[in-house]
Structure 1
Amino acid sequence: MHSFRQSKRVLQWLAMLAACLTLAACGFHLRGAADLPFKTIYLGFGPNSAVGVELKRNIQASGAKVVDDVKEAEANLKVLADTRDRQVLTLNTNGRVREYALFQRFTFSVSDAKGVVVIPPTAITLRRVITYDENQELAKQAEEALLYRDMQSDLVQQILRRLSASKSAISTEKAAADGDS
């Protein structure tokens, strides 16, 4: 009985070691901070924008600085549209709402310090489906707020990925400007 437990424990350790080696061999790693192609950025959000606050925090965590004056920034993010919407998806047999679709639509563009557009107007649309029950009104309102917060975090991550992907466009423009000088 004792040797059975020992052999079982050894097999568990070997399986865990094999899983770790497999993960290490496949190139898996946790997503780190965004590698942004600029040192300073101006964000065109309103002062009370939840998306703006979260994006600012993530940009600062990646090592870039968010400035309050457009003239001091290497990049300028312009918010063209930021809307939330809720649409009825399905109705039950009594004609009451059964499901809603929640949407968050965000459109932005990014230009450099000279006004050259680095990222043309880009639209991001996020959608979540929520079931509805009038007997659980407060719980469904809380669930809807939670889904909107989740969409906001997803939106910020997508914006950061697009800013990071613009690295090649910004570095090409910098090289061209340095070559002209």
Structure 2
Amino acid sequence: MRRLHVLGVVMLAFTVTACGFHLRGSYDLPARLSPLYLEKESMSLLLYKELRSTIRASGTELTEDATAAASVLSVSNEHRTRDVISVDTLGRAREYRLIYRMSFSLQASEESVIENSQIKLSRNLLFNPEAVLGVAEETQNVYRDMIRDSAGQILLRLQALK
């Protein structure tokens, strides 16, 4: 009975890997990008930290010297905006759309591999006038999640270069 259980687990593992399943956050970047330089002056600290940790987890080497890098990843036009999408009967905002947008480029061997690729993410947020401090904290959490998601999208696009 125990052997049958072990065999079932092994077969399930083979089936899951055979269909192309990968754990969220695990990326297999092309070896030609290594060592990679992150142009941190062009991006927010939060995005830089998220990209750095995710790229390191993928096994791609990072370098602090742009001249020693095989590729350079830079971010531009990183913006956060907030639009009112609904109001109450008194005309006060009840719901906001939080938008995070940015562009990124990848240079490798003096040529542009990805040029000004855009990422735009949006989330809706209900506003409660009785919990202004809580809404402010929730807004920051939503932006943090969008930055984390955008880092994942960047790495998916880099992974597609294989």
- TM exceeding 0.5: yes
How far apart are residue 45 of structure 1 and its match? 1.9
| Map 1:146-165 → 2, pairs under 5 A | 146-165=141-160
Partner of 2:21: 29
How far apart are residue 153 of structure 1 and its match? 1.1
| Map 1:118-129 → 2, pairs under 5 A | 118-129=113-124
Cα distance between partner residues in 2 of 1:154 and 1:45: 18
RMSD (Å) for aligned C-alpha atoms: 2.4
Q: Which runs of 5+ in 2 are unaligned?
A: 1-7
**Deviations 1:84-107 (Å, cap 9, x if unpaired)?**
111111111101001001011010
Match of 1:72 among 68, 72, 75: 68
Equivalences, count: 149
Partner of 1:4: none
Structure exhibiting the larger radius of gyration computed from Cα positions: 1
How far apart are residue 36 of structure 1 and its match? 1.1
Structure 1 residue ranges (4+ consecutive) displaced by more than 4 angstroms after TM superposition: none
Cα distance between partner residues in 2 of 1:102 and 1:48: 17
Q: Are 1:43 and 2:35 counterparts?
A: no
The structure showing larger relative contact order (alpha-carbon pairs under 8 Å, at least 6 residues apart) is 2
**Deviations 1:128-152 (Å, cap 9, x if unpaired)?**
0001011111111121111111111
Partner of 2:161: 166
Partner of 1:176: none
CA contact (8 A) 1:39 1:63 kept: no
| Map 1:4-153 → 2, pairs under 5 A | 24=15, 27=19, 29-31=21-23, 33-37=26-30, 38-46=33-41, 49-113=45-109, 115-153=110-148
**Deviations 1:57-98 (Å, cap 9, x if unpaired)?**
111111112212211111111212111111111111101001
How far apart are residue 48 of structure 1 and its match? 6.1
- With the length of structure 2 as denominator, give the TM-score of the two structures: 0.82
Q: Which runs of 5+ in 1 are unaligned?
A: 1-16, 168-181
Cα distance between partner residues in 1 of 2:101 and 2:115: 16
